[in-house]
């Protein structure tokens, strides 16, 4: 029986629920010391001096790292996923909360006390603390999407078509700064053995961290080892190699013993990126029958000071491919402020950008007096309208149909404030979901033992989405074994290289490599047996249940291996995107349906029902897939109604850097969620036909809720999160 697609329980589930799974902060080499970060209290300027004498005299203190005594790193650009500044390489201060010193001591408590005793004198400058207070003009990104796509595009003449259209929508939408806040904080344990470095760190990119550390410390790749067997969530914040990882290694070299550095919850708001604020203007024009004549989407995104690097939130990328129109224009601009460098946050670009375009589509449907689904179907893109490529696969029509049927969309009355449950206003809203189908090269290794068990390794990571489990299923099916006979290992840079777990690409990238390694090992086994059975055609042999079978004949692996004097067979495998990836537009799709209930007197908003229908290719595990779909929708509910990082405009300080005041969804905020996975196989995405689903279900949640709130109240909210005061009307 094939195990792929089955709802197999997580193979690492028991380890996690019993506490046996070890996370980065739980590794404890002998003689372990502790490091605590000291962060700046100004947003711009420079360090005038640092008084460390009192801290150094404290019992148990081993060393204090400052810009004056920190190791000079070998290079400032070690890898694409490196965030190299600030790393105590100079005295410049670029944002509030920047790392300015590290206290290292025998115990965590002693290091914490020493960090508090360090006195830093500053020479402050006038900061630009928020995007809305910046005076410099927005600028064009210099390296938008690593040069793979231009920041601006125009097809046709969107401005002229807009001016002459019968129906127009011209609106501006804002999304705030948001922070990831995974359960596990960023943590690193670093240990040197001469010039060999080992780090246990919470990372979504083991291979990236490995390259970064080797480059910054001038080490040969074989002299660096990065280990991360389990991750307590990341949502993008652990995709880069952030300064605390490097600072932990610097501290360990400084004191000559292993060092643990765990970022506090408050420090996570300034140490490892965030979703940047966006201001997006969308202009849509349509004929009276709903045909889109013009689409324009212009996005402005918050950025750090350019010397920290560059990150451009690609908010208009989905608009380039989502709907058919002869005139489509998009642009991206950045505004520099004295905050840390933004980064990827679950569904980067699409989560923020689709809020704007899908809210505008709902506004257009209202102006046309047209059903929102009918409007989307009227402008359904049969091929990528700006990329001029066929879609590798697209079942979005089916998502609309099955989602609407399951939700009961036909019961919706179109007029705002027309549906009630007693005194409570009821609203129904929907939005489209989409996310690119990404894939990168990956490698794997497989060993099949004489006892009918197998070991498979890949230097990928399981960020909580079930990678251990689905890769076990892939290898088991290829080797004809029960999943319980296969052990899949990951989380170690000494294993074959794999890409970052981001962009929903792990399944599409790693599973073909795992399949290839297992297939290569199987090929060796079948060739061995073919030599034993010379009269049996090789193509008739199959591997099943720890034996090679051909018709009525069978030979166990133990017997087959014994005849060749071996006790195992091993093989390498690798996989990479094929040429079809360049000739097709590759995306996953979905349709989100939200019901909200709004108290007209109190303004409280409750999401009461949810249906999400998704075209996400072949599911490798039905149970872990549903978990991801539900988790993404919950993430989107937080974006719509709760999450916002608040910055004091005078000082640049984040005032709600905790999870008491930075609001996240809890059980009471989340309704029953029904998910529908459209059964489809993408022939181009990867050999197994799977599309990534980690980020897809978050996209479209915020606009579906905003559109439902409008339907319930008649109030159009264009700024997130939606607050009580936004919907209170006289």
Evaluate whether 291 touches 379 at the Cβ level (below 8 Å): yes
Q: What is the pTM of this model?
A: 0.97
DSSP assignment of 155-213: ES-HHHHHHT-SEEEEEEEEE--B----SSPPEEEEEEETTEEEEEE--S-HHHHHHHH
Closest CA to 243 of 200, 183, 188, 204: 188
Q: Which of 549, 576, 603 is the last residue of a domain?
A: 576
Same domain, 428 and 482: no
Helix (H), strand (E) at residue 366: helix 350-368
| Residue 396, domain member (yes or no) | yes
Q: Is 108 left (phi over 0), alpha (psi -120 to 50) or beta?
A: alpha
Same domain, 695 and 606: yes
| Peptide bond preceding 222 in cis form (omega within 30 of 0) | no
Q: Which of 576, 604, 637 is the last residue of a domain?
A: 576
| Residue 259, domain member (yes or no) | yes
Instruction: Express each pLDDT in 575-623 by its tens digit.
Output: 999 888 889 999 999 999 999 999 999 999 999 999 999 999 999 999 9
The angle formed by the CA atoms of residues 245, 498 and 314, to the nearest 5 degrees, is: 75
Same domain, 546 and 428: no
DSSP assignment of 44-78: SEEEEEEE-HHHHTSTTEEEEE-TTTSPPPS-S--
Instruction: Express each pLDDT in 386-430 by its tens digit.
Output: 999 999 999 999 999 999 999 999 999 999 999 999 999 999 999
State yes or no: pLDDT of 718 exceeds 80: yes
Integer CA distances (angstroms), 719 to 132, 281, 727, in order: 14, 12, 12
Residue 341, classed as helix, strand or coil, is coil
Same domain, 466 and 535: yes
E-state strands within 241-291: 259-262, 278-286
Same domain, 379 and 451: no
Q: Which domain holds residue 457?
A: 440-576
Closest CA to 685 of 568, 589, 543: 589
Same domain, 472 and 410: no
Q: How far, rounded to the nearest angstrom, does the alpha carbon of residue 106 sit from its chain's CA centroid?
A: 36
Q: How far, rounded to the nearest angstrom, does the alpha carbon of residue 257 sit from its chain's CA centroid?
A: 34
**Between 292 and 1, the higher pLDDT residue:** 292
**Can you say whether the dihedral through the CA atoms of 663, 667, 673, 677 is positive or negative?**
positive
**Can you say whether the dihedral through the CA atoms of 463, 466, 470, 471 is positive or negative?**
positive
Q: Of residues 92, 595, 695, 725, which has the active-site annotation?
A: 695
For residue 257, what is the domain's CATH number? Answer: 3.30.365.10
Instruction: Express each pLDDT in 320-335 by its tens digit.
Output: 999 999 999 999 999 9
Same domain, 121 and 213: yes
Task: Copy the structure tokens of residue 218.
Answer: 């001038």
Q: Give the pLDDT mean for 524-544.
A: 94
Indicate if 695 belongs to the active site: yes
pLDDT at 561: 96
Q: How many CB atoms lie within 10 A of CB 494?
A: 13
pLDDT at 602: 96
Q: Which of 560, 576, 592 is the last residue of a domain?
A: 576
Same domain, 285 and 245: no
Q: How many CB atoms lie within 10 A of CB 36?
A: 25
Same domain, 432 and 521: no
pLDDT at 1: 67
Q: Give the pLDDT mean for 528-552.
A: 93
How buried is 549 (Cβ within 10 angstroms: 0-12 exposed, 13-18 middle, 19+ buried)? middle
CA distance 533 to 372: 65
Instruction: Express each pLDDT in 63-84 by its tens digit.
Output: 999 999 999 998 655 444 456 5
Q: Give the pLDDT mean for 131-146.
A: 92
| Residue 131, domain member (yes or no) | no
The tally of domains found in the chain comes to: 3
Evaluate whether 438 touches 145 at the Cβ level (below 8 Å): no
Same domain, 529 and 445: yes
| Phi, psi of 550, deg, nearest 5 | -145, 105
| Residue 41, domain member (yes or no) | yes
| Residue 133, domain member (yes or no) | no
| Residue 13, domain member (yes or no) | no
Same domain, 698 and 591: yes
Evaluate whether 95 touches 653 at the Cβ level (below 8 Å): no
pLDDT at 86: 85
State yes or no: pLDDT of 472 exceeds 70: yes
| Residue 103, domain member (yes or no) | yes
Same domain, 696 and 723: yes
| Residue 18, domain member (yes or no) | no
Evaluate whether 458 touches 496 at the Cβ level (below 8 Å): yes
Integer CA distances (angstroms), 555 to 524, 532, 718, in order: 15, 10, 68
- Mean pLDDT, the chain, whole residue set: 96
Residue 6, classed as helix, strand or coil, is coil
């Amino acid at each position: 029986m094939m195990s792929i697609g089955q709802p197999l329980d997580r193979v690492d589930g028991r380890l996690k629920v019993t506490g046996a799974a070890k996370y980065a902060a739980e590794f404890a080499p002998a003689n372990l010391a502790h490091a605590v970060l000291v962060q700046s209290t100004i947003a711009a300027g420079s360090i005038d001096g640092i008084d460390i004498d009192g801290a150094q005299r404290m019992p148990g203190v081993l060393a204090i790292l400052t810009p004056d005594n920190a190791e000079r790193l070998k290079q400032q650009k070690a890898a694409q996923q490196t965030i190299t500044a600030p790393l105590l390489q100079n005295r410049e201060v670029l944002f509030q909360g920047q790392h300015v010193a590290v206290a290292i001591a025998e115990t965590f408590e002693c290091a914490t006390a020493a960090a508090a005793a360090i006195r830093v004198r500053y020479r402050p400058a006038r900061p630009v603390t928020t995007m809305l207070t910046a005076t410099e003009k927005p600028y064009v990104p210099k390296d938008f999407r690593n040069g793979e796509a231009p920041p601006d595009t125009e097809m046709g003449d969107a401005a002229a078509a807009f001016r002459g259209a019968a129906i127009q929508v011209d609106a501006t939408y804002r999304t705030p700064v948001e922070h990831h806040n995974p359960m596990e904080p960023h943590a690193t344990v670093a240990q040197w053995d001469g010039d060999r470095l080992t780090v246990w760190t919470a990372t979504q990119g083991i291979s990236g961290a490995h390259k970064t550390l080797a480059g910054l410390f001038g080490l040969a790749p074989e002299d660096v080892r990065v280990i991360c067997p389990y991750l307590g969530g990341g949502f993008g914040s652990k995709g880069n190699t952030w300064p605390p990882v490097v600072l932990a290694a610097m501290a360990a070299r400084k004191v000559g013993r292993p060092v643990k550095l765990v970022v506090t919850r408050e420090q996570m708001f300034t140490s490892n990126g965030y979703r940047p604020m966006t201001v997006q203007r969308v202009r849509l024009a349509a004929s009276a029958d709903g045909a889109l004549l013009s689409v324009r989407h212009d996005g402005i995104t918050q950025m750090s000071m350019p010397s920290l690097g560059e990150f451009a939130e690609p908010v208009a990328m989905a608009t380039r491919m989502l709907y058919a129109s002869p005139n489509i224009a998009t642009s991206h601009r950045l505004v520099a402020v004295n905050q840390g460098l933004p980064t990827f946050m679950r569904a980067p670009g699409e989560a923020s950008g689709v809020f704007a375009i899908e809210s505008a589509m709902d506004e257009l449907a209202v102006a046309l007096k047209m059903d929102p689904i009918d409007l989307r179907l009227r402008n359904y893109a049969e091929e990528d309208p700006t990329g001029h490529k066929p879609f590798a696969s697209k079942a979005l029509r089916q998502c609309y149909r099955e989602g609407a049927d399951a939700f009961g969309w036909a019961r919706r009355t179109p007029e705002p404030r027309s549906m009630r449950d007693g005194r409570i206003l009821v609203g129904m809203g929907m939005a489209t979901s989409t996310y690119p189908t990404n894939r990168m090269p990956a490698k794997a290794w497989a060993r099949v033992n004489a006892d009918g068990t197998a070991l498979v390794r890949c230097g990928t990571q399981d960020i909580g989405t079930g990678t251990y489990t689905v890769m076990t299923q892939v290898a088991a099916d290829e080797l004809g074994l029960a999943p319980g006979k296969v052990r899949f290992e990951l989380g170690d840079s000494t294993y074959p290289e794999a890409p970052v777990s981001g962009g929903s690409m792990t399944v599409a990238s790693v599973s073909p490599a795992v399949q290839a390694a297992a297939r290569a090992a199987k090929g060796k086994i079948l060739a061995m047996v073919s030599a034993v059975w010379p009269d049996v055609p090789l193509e008739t042999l199959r591997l099943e249940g720890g034996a090679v079978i051909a018709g009525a004949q069978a030979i166990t692996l133990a017997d087959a291996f014994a005849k060749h004097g071996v006790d195992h067979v091993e093989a390498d495998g690798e996989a990479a995107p094929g040429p079809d990836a360049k000739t097709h537009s590759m995306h996953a799709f979905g349709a989100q349906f939200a019901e909200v209930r709004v108290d007209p007197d109190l303004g409280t908003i409750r999401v009461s029902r949810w249906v999400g229908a998704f075209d996400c290719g072949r599911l490798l595990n039905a149970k872990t897939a549903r978990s991801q779909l539900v988790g993404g929708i919950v993430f989107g509910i937080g974006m719509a109604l709760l999450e916002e990082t608040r910055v004091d405009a005078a000082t640049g300080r984040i005032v709600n850097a905790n999870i008491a005041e930075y609001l996240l969804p809890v059980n009471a905020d989340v309704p029953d969620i029904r998910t529908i996975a459209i059964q489809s196989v993408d022939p181009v995405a990867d050999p197994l036909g799977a599309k990534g689903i980690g980020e897809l279900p978050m996209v479209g949640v915020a606009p579906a809720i905003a559109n439902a709130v409008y339907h319930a109240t008649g109030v159009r909210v264009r700024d997130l999160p939606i607050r009580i005061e936004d919907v209170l009307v006289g």
